[in-house]
């Protein structure tokens, strides 16, 4: 196959930051994706509908002329979130979910939830209002090995939430393990998961083999090969429970390449090419459109897009860095070659 045309996809897990960094990274997403679920872990976090609407306006102002893109906003769940805020979010046409960060689990998660059972009344109201909960599924107990944090969260936290709130729609974000895949598959249609390109293409050797390579460091961290294989099987299975979420997380190169590099992979400029490579390697290009373009929209109860994107089999080299000077960002697969390239986007 030399050319592949898909219904225009959406990104169901995206970080775009704010200010100059937002203006630098947003065009990469807008040229490919029609919509994206925008993560709320700014400093300070986006915790109210009013803040989400203000952030949305900043994003809209950063979309380059000639591109159409719709940001789908989320609120950062904290121990101080009120029932009234959940009701306001549920009635807002622009707020689509709440994001649960266990305190200390990832970038800008210090305001997250330390005691998950303490926010059960919030889950109950979300269930009543039928607004989804997006979960960063890791425990933060210092005694738990970092490679086990997702599995332990599923067993000790999420299983209880699912049992206690049977009608609550939940997205297990950026799943990384065979156990997470099995957990999601075992639940009903209200439980789904996003999968990133880095977790489809790489195992933990990418971070450590041949030296420490910080641009492959993300949270949840890359896992063993058996887990990568399970994710590929899930993504290419045609199951509507698994859909595209890049978790593209831009950090300045200077912050990634230092004594304590931050977590996050910047994949936005080559997101569709990375997913296409992963699906082609699995012999499942025919399954990519559902994963990228249909299943996420269906889960969020939004209409499927009507435009298209076209990729052609054409080798190209990923730039070593995007932008210059104070906002230089190193992408995933920097300096390496890809075999597919986005050629056209038709907007309808």
Residue 54 burial (CB count, 10 A):
12
**136 annotated ligand binder:** yes
CB–CB of 40/62 below 8 Å? no
Reply yes or no on whether 145 is catalytic.
Answer: no
**Residues 6 or more apart in contact with residue 153 via CB below 8 angstroms:** 102, 137, 138, 139
Query: Is 17 annotated as contributing to ligand binding?
Result: yes
Is 16 a known ligand-binding residue?
Answer: yes
State yes or no: 113 annotated in a binding site.
no
Strand partners, 35: 70
Is residue 192 within 8 Å of 172, Cβ to Cβ?
yes
Task: Report whether 263 belongs to an annotated binding site.
Answer: yes
Q: Which of 247, 286, 298, 326 is catalytic?
A: 247
Question: Would the annotation count 215 as a binding residue?
Answer: no
Residue 219 marked in a binding site: yes
Nearest to 267 by CA among 249, 252, 288: 249
On whether 174 is known to bind a ligand per the annotation, the reply is yes
CA distances from 174 to 46, 144, 171, 286, 298 (A): 20, 19, 9, 22, 18
Of 75, 48, 56, 82, nearest in space to 134 by CA: 75
Ligand-binding annotation for 15, yes or no, is yes
Question: What is the spatial distance between Cα 52 and Cα 49, in angstroms, rounded to a whole number?
Answer: 5
Tell whether residue 272 is among the known ligand binding residues.
no
Helices (H), the chain: 19-30, 49-62, 83-91, 120-129, 149-153, 159-164, 178-186, 197-201, 205-208, 225-235, 253-256, 271-281, 288-289, 295-299
Instruction: Report whether 193 contacts 200 (CB < 8 A).
Output: no
Which residues belong to the annotated binding site for Zn(2+)? 13, 15, 99, 136, 174, 247
Which residues belong to the annotated binding site? 13, 15-17, 41, 99, 136, 174, 219, 247, 251, 263
Which residues belong to the annotated binding site for substrate? 15-17, 41, 136, 219, 251, 263
Active site (catalytic) residues: 247
């Amino acid at each position: 196959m030399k050319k592949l045309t898909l219904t225009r996809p959406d990104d169901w897990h995206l970080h775009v930051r704010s200010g100059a960094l937002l203006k630098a990274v947003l065009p990469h997403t807008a040229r490919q994706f029609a919509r994206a679920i925008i993560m709320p872990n700014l400093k300070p976090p986006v915790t109210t509908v009013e803040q989400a609407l203000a952030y949305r306006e900043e994003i809209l102002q950063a979309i380059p002329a000639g591109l159409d893109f719709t940001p789908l906003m989320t609120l950062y769940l904290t121990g101080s979130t009120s029932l009234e805020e959940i009701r306001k979010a549920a009635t807002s046409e622009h707020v689509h979910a709440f994001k649960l960060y266990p305190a200390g689990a990832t970038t800008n998660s210090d305001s997250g939830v330390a005691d998950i059972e303490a926010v059960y009344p919030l889950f109950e109201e979300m269930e009543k209002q039928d607004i989804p909960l997006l979960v960063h599924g890791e425990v933060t107990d210092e005694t738990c090995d970092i490679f086990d944090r997702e599995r332990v969260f599923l067993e000790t936290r999420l299983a209880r939430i699912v049992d206690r709130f049977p009608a609550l729609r939940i997205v297990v974000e950026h799943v990384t393990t065979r156990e997470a895949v099995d957990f999601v598959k075992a639940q009903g249609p209200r439980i789904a998961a996003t999968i990133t390109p880095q977790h489809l293409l790489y195992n933990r050797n990418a971070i450590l083999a041949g030296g420490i390579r910080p641009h492959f460091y993300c949270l949840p961290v890359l896992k063993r090969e058996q887990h990568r294989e399970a994710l590929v099987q899930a993504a290419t299975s045609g199951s509507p429970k698994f859909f595209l979420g890049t978790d593209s997380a831009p950090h300045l190169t200077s912050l990634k390449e230092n004594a304590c590099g931050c977590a996050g992979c910047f994949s936005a400029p080559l997101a569709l090419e990375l997913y296409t490579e992963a699906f082609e390697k699995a012999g499942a290009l025919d399954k990519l459109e559902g994963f990228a373009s249909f299943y996420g929209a269906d889960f969020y109860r939004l209409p499927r897009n009507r435009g298209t994107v076209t990729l052609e089999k054409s080798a190209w080299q990923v730039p070593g860095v995007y932008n210059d000077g104070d906002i230089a960002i190193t992408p995933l697969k920097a300096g390496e070659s890809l075999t597919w390239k986005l050629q056209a986007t038709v907007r309808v």
